[in-house]
Amino acid sequence: MSLCEDSGPLALNRQLCFALYAASRAVTRAYQPMLQDLGITYPQYLVLLVLWERDTEEGGDAGTSVGALGERLMLDSGTLTPLLKRMEQRGLLERRRASRDERVTLVSITDAGRALEPRARAWVEQQLDASAVSRQEVEQLHRQLWQFLEKLGGSG
């Protein structure tokens, strides 16, 4: 879609919000084959990304609080809690109360959740290699989007 110079400031194709929305939907749609193969939803994939990252950083079972997970994913607990409950029922993660403060719920990845990581990693690498967009272009857009989000005050 190209910008029409004479279409006015409220034309749909001139709206940054619409371009971001359409791009987000397209990227999410591109991930559907991998998500279906793994048997997870896109929000569940995002949770797993954080847990895989934490698992690598902390070497295992330390867990992360629901609050920290929500902050990282920019989701409130009302959205996150049912999502985590479904993932726990599937055996992808465990939830438990923190021993120091029982008001805090900790989330840890299970072996079943860990087992999905190599498959997801292989799929993402394959898609990056096969994409018409170079890795450098993807990295540049990624940096620009995070800078933009930070300027809007929405980076967490």
Q: Position of tokens 């940054």?
A: 16
pTM, two decimal places: 0.85
Closest by CA position to 93, among listed 102, 103, 76, 80:
80
pLDDT in tens, 69-84: 999 999 998 999 999 9
- Which string of b and e fits 87-99 if b means at least 16 CB within 10 Å? beeeebbbeeeee
Task: Please give the structure tokens belonging to residue 85.
Answer: 């409950």
149 phi and psi angles, rounded to 5 deg: -60, -40
Which tens digits make up the pLDDT trace of 58-111?
665 678 999 999 999 999 989 999 999 999 999 999 999 988 888 999 999 999
Degrees, nearest 5: CA angle 48-49-52: 80
Measured from the Cβ of residue 44, the count of other Cβ atoms closer than 10 Å reads 21
- Torsion angle, alpha carbons of 73, 121, 109, 47, to 10: 20
Domains and CATH numbers, the chain: 12-150 (1.10.10.10)
- Torsion from C-alpha of 18, 20, 26, 31, nearest 10 degrees: -150
